[in-house]
Amino acid sequence: MQTNSTFSVIFFTRKPRGFSNEFSIYARITVDGKRAEISLKRSVLVNHWDINKGRGRGNTTKVKFLNAYLDEVYNQILDCHKQLFEEGIMVSANSIKARFLGEDDNRKTLRELIEYHNTNMITVLKFGTMKNYYTTEKYLYKFLSKILKREDIYLKQLNYRFICDFEQYLRNYKNSKMENVLANNGVMKHLERFQKMINLACKLEWLIKNPFQQFQLKFDKYDRQYLSERELQLIEDTCFNQERLEKVKNCFLFSCYTGLSFIDLKELTTNQITIGIDNNYWIFTKREKTNEVVKIPILPKAQQIIDKYKEGFDGVKLEKLLPLCSNQKANSYLKEIVQFCGINKYITFHVARHTFATTVMLSNGVPIETVSKLLGHTKLSTTQIYARVVETKISEDIGNLLERFKKKEESKSA
């Protein structure tokens, strides 16, 4: 912190280019002999300027307004000097100028933060994740414009009320058909992404106090859909005359027996099938979402599906392992498939991943640690979201327990 520096502020004029009888007015800040000049975007007639006083000369209304403005600028510059001094920031002519013009970190805005975050994260986060951040950005800008009636806001103006008001805006947001767009968890996801941007601002020291400090994200917990063993078998046993439905059915079943997500399956190529440690075929790939390496033994039912598509049309070998359409179309076709099979559940392609974790793996006694590895999770707690102990497994485990009790009783009476 500086304690023995010289500091002064003066106003002066400068003749603009070309012929003019008015001079432009500037403020000059000097700290320890080093200067910084600020154009005040004001002008004054040559004979209406007092060089010695650095103010307008005369008693006209225009001159009085000009001098009042210059006094206000002078006080603001003094206040900027005081702020920097109290904050322990190096006081210089340029730092005072930056604070006055709102160009230092203390005057960073929400738009600047969003732009900085998205520019830097675009090379770190996946496209799908960035798309979600762009949607959150859209809602923030709409909130600023429609509710706060402004285009931007300083970060230091963000507070607990801003977050609460933004939450209510999201909850009440309606589309062109006057329908609510976001459920509770959708609102929480937008607030979670906003919170991550605010955390970045705190790390960059653009914010001293985090407005999310007292705010708690509250997600609703839902049981994730999965297919039972009977439902899975029902889909397997159903054949479709329409090729599009048959292809999606096979791809969906392949995901049920490998745990691969839609994007990981879509990008899967033939050269990612290799011989594993047990001399059987394995899938060696990386998760698109987390870049985590995944090694999955190919179960017999999954191998049967691979064999169906080993050769492409006209005997040309396909580079992609399976003929998978877009996610939107796949989900649309899955609705037709489950409806035809008489399954009364809302099924998307991601349900296959839940089915793999629950029905195929955990229900058949595979430890959750192994399931976590096969799913490519970095934390066991993530797998526990997918995993659920189904009734058949509970019944089997209790049966084994009763059998052990029976053997103990028999050994005692013997």
Asked if residue 265 is part of any domain, the answer here is yes
H/E element, 216: none
Q: 37-41, 235-239, 396-400: which range is least confident on average? A: 396-400
Q: Are residues 260 and 367 in the same domain?
A: yes
pLDDT of 352-403, one tens digit each? Answer: 999 999 889 988 888 888 988 998 888 887 787 766 656 666 777 788 888 8
Q: Are residues 96 and 118 in the same domain?
A: no
Q: Which of 57, 79, 104 is the last residue in one of the domains?
A: 104
Three-state DSSP at 11 gives strand
Most distant CA pair in the chain: distance in Å? 122
By CB atoms closer than 10 A (0-12, 13-18, 19+), residue 219 is exposed
Three-state DSSP at 96 gives helix
Measure the CA–CA gap between 142 and 191, rounded to whole angstroms. Answer: 15
Asked if residue 211 is part of any domain, the answer here is no
What pLDDT, on the 0 to 100 scale, is given for residue 3? 52
Asked if residue 409 is part of any domain, the answer here is no
Q: Measured on CA atoms in the order 388, 393, 399, 400, is the torsion positive or negative?
A: negative
Q: Are residues 66 and 128 in the same domain?
A: no
Q: Which of 60, 82, 104 is the last residue in one of the domains?
A: 104
Q: Measured on CA atoms in the order 217, 222, 225, 230, is the torsion positive or negative?
A: positive
Measure the CA–CA gap between 383 and 329, rounded to whole angstroms. Answer: 27
**Higher pLDDT pick, 387 / 261:** 261
Q: Are residues 263 and 284 in the same domain?
A: yes
Structure-token match 């485990």, residue found: 397
Do 371 and 247 contact (CB within 8 A), yes or no? no
Give me the domain span that covers residue 100. Answer: 7-104
Q: Are residues 96 and 142 in the same domain?
A: no
Q: Are residues 290 and 162 in the same domain?
A: no
pTM (2 d.p.): 0.62
Do 345 and 361 contact (CB within 8 A), yes or no? no
Asked if residue 209 is part of any domain, the answer here is no
Do 121 and 128 contact (CB within 8 A), yes or no? no
Tokens read off for 181 = 């767009």
Q: Are residues 179 and 252 in the same domain?
A: no
> Rounded to an integer, what is the distance from CA 12 to the centroid of its chain?
50
Give the Cβ contact number of residue 89 at 10 Å.
16
Helix 243-256 / helix 229-237 crossing angle, nearest 10 deg = 150
Q: Are residues 188 and 75 in the same domain?
A: no
**Total number of domains constituting the chain:** 3
pLDDT of 310-325, one tens digit each? Answer: 765 444 455 788 889 9
Q: Are residues 280 and 368 in the same domain?
A: yes
What CATH number is given to the structural domain containing 306? 1.10.443.10
